[in-house]
Amino acid sequence: MPIVKSYSVGNGDTFYIQHGSDNFTIIDCCLGDENADSVIEDMKKAAAGKGITRFISTHPDDDHFRGIELLDEAMPIINFYVVKNAAVKENDSASWERYCELRDSGKAFNIHKGCTRKWMNLSDEERKTSGINILWPDTENASFKEALAAAEEGNAYNNISPVIRYSVEGGASFMWLGDLETDFMESITDDIELTKTTIVFASHHGRQSGKIPDSWLEKLDPQIIVIGEAPSRHLHYYTGYKTITQNMAGDIVLECEGDKIHIFVSSGTYTNKGLAKESGVAAKVGLSYVGSITVETEYTL
């Protein structure tokens, strides 16, 4: 069954999708001496037996590619999905050098609104689709062009982030927003097609600066918003929505089974009153079962 995992890596992002098809996807990484070995070993186990592995880079900020050279050495990145950019940095770290090497290599596939690729969102006789679609960026959009220019001048990188949507056939859907900022999201509201999405990972690690606008939330109508690990004083808590706060939950594992999502966390003390416990959910080593949700019917606005 498909599984989405969000690792607790401090102020940064690291995710994987263990698809129900022959696909495995990693979205961003933030790895250091304290977590690289354990995270990479866990990913290798999760990816075992999958024929296609891809890495999606949301944008070139250190907390989204840190340790990518370690990951690339342990799990060679053959398919590197990235928004086309020529961002520059004064930082000459090994991670930045590897990011640039992958970005500018033949391994790179440039993602943009509506792009297609086997087996990201196209199936054939050999392999089924992963269920991933890219809703943004529109490379002709004026706001995006401004953000891209800022990245290429080395000034700011957040707003070249893509909007990534993963859907399980007949089941749940998930969305990643990278570090898009609130003002930018508001500026492109009329230029992006948003549909109801079961779980949304809040932009910019849940910071107030990345608050998802109401104009987006009305269309996404998420059942859960996952709030990242930014300092608590910087977080926006999305009153009126069910949330999981990674600061408290630790690693989060979202297991899709039919119209259910079973939710596990690494914290042994975390509870969530918005989740219903279901009987018969199999335990996972090192994780606590905190509850489940039933996926609501999707619709388009």
The 10s digit of each residue's pLDDT in 224-256 is 999 999 888 999 999 999 999 999 999 999 999
Q: For 173-194, how does the pLDDT look when each residue is reduced to its tens digit (9 = 90+)?
A: 999 999 999 999 999 999 999 9
pLDDT of residue 65: 98
pLDDT digits (tens, 9 = 90+) for 29-64: 999 999 999 999 999 999 999 999 999 999 999 999
Measured CA to CA in angstroms, residue 231 lies from 40, 126, 212, 282 at distances of 25, 45, 18, 33
* DSSP H or E stretch at residue 299: none
* 64 close to 203: Cβ distance less than 8 angstroms: no
Given a cut of 50, whether residue 10 has pLDDT beyond it is yes
Residue 298: pLDDT above 80? no
Q: Per-residue pLDDT for 301 more than 60?
A: no
Compute the mean pLDDT over every residue in the chain, rounded to the nearest whole number.
96
pTM over 0.95: yes
Q: How confident is the model at residue 170 (pLDDT cuts 50, 70, 90)?
A: confident
Q: Domains in the chain, ordered, with CATH?
A: 3-294 (3.60.15.10)
Q: Residue 92: which pLDDT band, with cuts at 50, 70 and 90?
A: confident
pLDDT in tens, 96-148: 999 999 999 999 999 999 999 999 999 999 999 999 999 999 999 999 999 99
User: What pLDDT shows up at residue 300?
Assistant: 37
Which are the contacts of 198, defined by CB distance < 8 A and separation ≥ 6? 172, 173, 174, 222, 223, 224, 261, 293, 295, 296
